[in-house]
Amino acid sequence: MKIDAIEIYRLAVPIIGYYKTAFARAECFNSILVKLISGKNYGWGEAAPWGFPGFCGECDITAYQVAKTFIAPLLLGQDIETGKALQQKLAGIKENNFAKAAFDLAWWDLYAKEQKTPLWKLIGGDNDEAEGGAAIGALDSIDLLMEEVQKVVDAGYPRIKLKYCPGWELEMLRALRKNFPNVIIHIDCNSAYTLADLDMFKKLDACNLAMIEQPLMHDDLLDHAVLQSKIGTPICLDESITSADKARKAIQLKACKWINIKHGRVGGITNALLIHDICKISNIPCWIGSMGESAIGYAFSLALATLPNIKYPSDILPSSRYYKKDLGYPVLQNPVPGKFIAFPVPGIGVEPDPEMLECVTVEKTFVRRD
């Protein structure tokens, strides 16, 4: 597939309310959107590193600059037949995985359309359905949290993920467990702690958590291995797993019992599939994480969530959780809370709503080969 033209957009998409993690409080989700055009076909990709380099070293501003200055010139006019070939062309650029992911995703959407196959089927999904869980950020009070949890429990979500950070810790969790002793819950620390907090993590063993997501430094494996050896609750790595090689090392070190795969964090679908396969042969179950993408990014998450080694509900949320109007159209099929069905059309089946794209674009670049 020859890449004839590329469009790159930097976006700020307003969300309902706010979403607070250990590293930032967001009132809009900042992302980049890439369109790869080949002949009459095109594919869309979205990567959402947020508007502040707190999850990793990237944010929307760096991703946009790297995308237009370094990545687009490497791909424009090139004939790219596989995801691996695309990644090889970008191998000289170190890190910047979110920027790379937007192109890798767009390539997979384009490729699946050329193959006239839904993406989930093309990458080896079991069927067109996947489970999505609820996610609740840090809130201003425990009373507010109880209300939010009651809502998602009543709606029937299969599990709840809670953001967990200094000031929003054991007291919150113990209160929650008192009211909801049997709900499947895990916490996400977004790398807010160190081994000096070992006693607190030991106390969490009594809270019956499904897992603790990324408790320690964003790029650490070794301290996670030490922590995992001292607590009973399984550790799930997120930020630390940026490549298939990091996944292999984490498994070898016994740094975790779960891995959360995010297409943005790992540079796209190509690397997400490699990580999925390494985990599968190593008996490390996975689920799919998210960064608060629109229905475009979530459509890729849904395709990944249909893979055979996805063993826990993924971070795929209904559009109405964050958006009055989603950038992506149509929004994902979500017949009952916690269940999503991929579209039976070639590619991901979702693209930006032109009016919304106009509204949320901060800056854009278009390039075309001569």
Q: Which residues bind Mg ion (CB under 5 A)?
A: 188, 213, 238
Q: Which of 116, 163, 202, 280 is catalytic?
A: 163
One DSSP character per residue, 252-269 reads HHT--SEEEE-TTTTTSH
Q: How many whole angstroms from its chain centre is CA 79?
A: 28
Between 125 and 137, name the residue whose CB sits nearer to Mg ion.
Answer: 137
CB of 188 to Mg ion, least distance (A): 4
Give me the residue whose beta carbon is nearest to Mg ion: 238
CB of 206 to Mg ion, least distance (A): 23
> C-alpha distances in angstroms, 202 versus 209, 243, 256, 286, 300?
12, 29, 16, 24, 36
Between 104 and 213, name the residue whose CB sits nearer to Mg ion.
Answer: 213
Strands (E), the chain: 5-20, 25-38, 41-47, 129-131, 134-136, 160-163, 185-188, 212-213, 235-237, 258-261, 286-288, 328-329, 333-336, 339-341, 351-352, 361-368
CB of 289 to Mg ion, least distance (A): 6
Q: Known catalytic residue: 339? A: no
CB of 105 to Mg ion, least distance (A): 19
Asked if 317 contacts 157 with a C-beta cutoff of 8 angstroms, the reply is no
Strand order in the sheet with 361-368: 41-47, 25-38, 5-20, 361-368
Which of 340, 331, 333 shows the shortest CA–CA distance to 306? 340
For the packed helices 97-114 and 269-281, what is the interaxial angle rounded to 10 degrees? Answer: 90
Between 87 and 191, name the residue whose CB sits nearer to Mg ion.
Answer: 191
As a whole number of angstroms, the distance between CA 76 and CA 143 comes to: 53
Between 35 and 276, name the residue whose CB sits nearer to Mg ion.
Answer: 276
Q: Which of 68, 113, 121, 262 is catalytic?
A: 262
Between 109 and 188, name the residue whose CB sits nearer to Mg ion.
Answer: 188
Under DSSP, the state recorded for 76 is: T
CB of 240 to Mg ion, least distance (A): 10
Which of 161, 137, 6, 155 shows the shortest CA–CA distance to 71? 6
- Provide CB contacts within 8 A for 20, sequence distance 6+: 26, 137, 138, 139, 163
Q: Known catalytic residue: 230? A: no
CB of 216 to Mg ion, least distance (A): 13
Burial of 334 (0-12, 13-18, 19+ CB in 10 A): middle
Between 213 and 293, name the residue whose CB sits nearer to Mg ion.
Answer: 213
The pairing of strands 185-188 and 160-163 is parallel
Active site residues: 163, 262
